[in-house]
Structure 1
């Protein structure tokens, strides 16, 4: 968090400022807005992506998006978003180094684990740093920019409500936006995407793995 504390993803509250990255790949603190999915009970298979020098790892569901680079470049502007299940050893992911900067680090190995509970946070910037690795906030649709655009109404609602009614908005957010299950807006976007988008852009497991 911006105040220096660390907090588990599942414990985030609207208004918390978490480490993220902007469109230029610069680290920023971004408002946590909502969970697209919050499920504390279901057991799922997760992909663990582990890096080499430094050794860091991030645990994601198969359909969650992670920013990657080909091993031939270190240009952060060449980042693309890929499903966690599509990431391969030898590619690079973005890691926050000891100086507080993003650097590309080679993925050394990928394996799966089963865990109970999964949480998909959304920030104002659409990105989030988890366990020192930069990830997208989005899943299921393999297009980070399109997903971020689709959540523009949510960001607008958050911005307007938090300015006009700050106390009431935070109280209401804690009571409504973090209930168990997939958020209604995420369900709506998935249905629209299933109708309009090329099926190759959608993860084959669909909404069943839309958490991280």
Structure 2
């Protein structure tokens, strides 16, 4: 929220009244906007609530098959290794112990290490345990290997981070392994591997990387160009400054920074690193929208950063003109600090590459429309001469996700169709 520093009780009261008034109008406009969106979505054919569901036949995995069909440490699977976790590591406090009675933990070491795992791994494992009991009544899920503190796996194993488990059914029937692997995929594990005739290997993304699903950001070292031509790091950017953006016609213009939708100086996240012809590079979270030039159609579209491929064309700022440049390489990196400025245009040129200010929703127009209440309320407050006071309320550089953005993120799963959302 906002940080209020007051020198007198009457001044504090006036600021609180302004803030409450802002939120009142924001809420009214937001409800109205969501009502319109909900009405639009209700039109047209569809299954509807309570309609018939088609059952889908589950096919077992075959020996040595893995889902998805990419390497375990790639962005599309469980992601990069973040480093082994020992009992003396500060990160160990973030791991959880799974006491689910529907799961058998082999625990050969006798230390309870197999029960230790990340929150995401625990969540997926518990879902799988229910699926196993439904598929084979009377049987339970067996975990043969979990968190490894004895370095018995490969150097880059995710077992060292509590993000991987090796599993089997309690009767150890090898004929069930292929279906068990399929059930693990359905349970939501980020990578499932029919590794051997005696077990299935499953792993998940790190809990820290799941912040990418809560917002979209750039790194703190990423730069923008201000209206006076200065290159400014996002970690140094202030609300109210004008930065290079892109208007609806595709022209480079300067647009005012309204707020930071997300700002966290300490959080580490996994970023997609895009390198383009000419040396331009951009690091952005996977769920963030990036402008891509479609050569055949002669127009731009916004796509999630992790959907950008080598050979695509992105728009690069050359002397305040946006020109398409070929993507040469896509990789991933870990970086500390996340920043997501929002301009009036809803776009921003970061490290000379044009991008959206938005994430999570696969539509620039819908995302920009969702912030219409905030933009309208700001203008409304300015009309009533609250501009100087409301502006001073926006200046404190909050940590975390902005309250208005957080409200929208909470509502999106109930308002928008799933195919519009980042998964």
Is the TM-score greater than 0.5? yes
User: What is the RMSD of the two structures over their aligned residues, measured on CA atoms?
Assistant: 1.5
2:386 corresponds in structure 1 to 165
User: What is the Cα deviation at residue 8 of structure 1?
Assistant: 1.1
Q: Is the partner of 1:33 in helix, strand or coil?
A: strand
TM-score, with structure 2 as normaliser = 0.45
1: CA distance, partners of 2:378 / 2:253: 18
Give the distance between the partners of 1:65 and 1:38, measured in 2 at CA.
17
Deviations 1:15-58 (A, max 9, x none): 10000010000111100000111111111000111101x22011
- Alignment pair present for 1:200 and 2:419: yes
Higher relative contact order structure (alpha carbons within 8 Å, sequence separation ≥ 6): 1
Partner of 1:140: 360
Q: Post-superposition shift, 1:71?
A: 4.4
Counterparts of 1:112 and 1:173 in 2: how far apart (Å)?
A: 33
Task: Report the more deviating stretch, 21-30 or 156-165.
Answer: 156-165
Structure 2 residue aligned with 1:131: 351
Kept in 2: contact 1:33–1:158 (CA 8 A): no
Structure 1 unaligned regions, length at least 5: 205-212
Unaligned segments of structure 2, at least 5 residues: 1-225
Structure that is richer in strand per residue: 1
Deviation at 1:162, TM superposition (A): 4.7
What residue is the counterpart of 1:209 in the other structure? Answer: none
SS in 1 for 2:231: coil
Q: Within the alignment, does 1:64 sit opposite 2:288 as a pair? A: yes
1:180 deviates by: 0.7
Whether contact under 8 Å (1:71, 1:90) holds in the other structure is no
> Do the aligned partners of 2:294 and 2:301 also contact (CA within 8 Å) in 1?
no
- Cα distance change, pair 107–125 in 1 and its aligned pair in 2 (3 A): same
**Cα deviation 1:39-84 (Å, max 9, x = unaligned):** 11111000111101x22011100111001123435x2xx2111111
Partner in structure 1 of residue 320 of structure 2: 100
CA drift at 1:161: 3.6
* SS of alignment partner, residue 7 of structure 1: strand
The alignment's TM-score, normalised by the length of structure 1, stands at 0.88
The answer (yes or no) to whether the contact 1:162–1:170 under 8 Å persists in 2 is no
Residue aligning to 1:87? 308
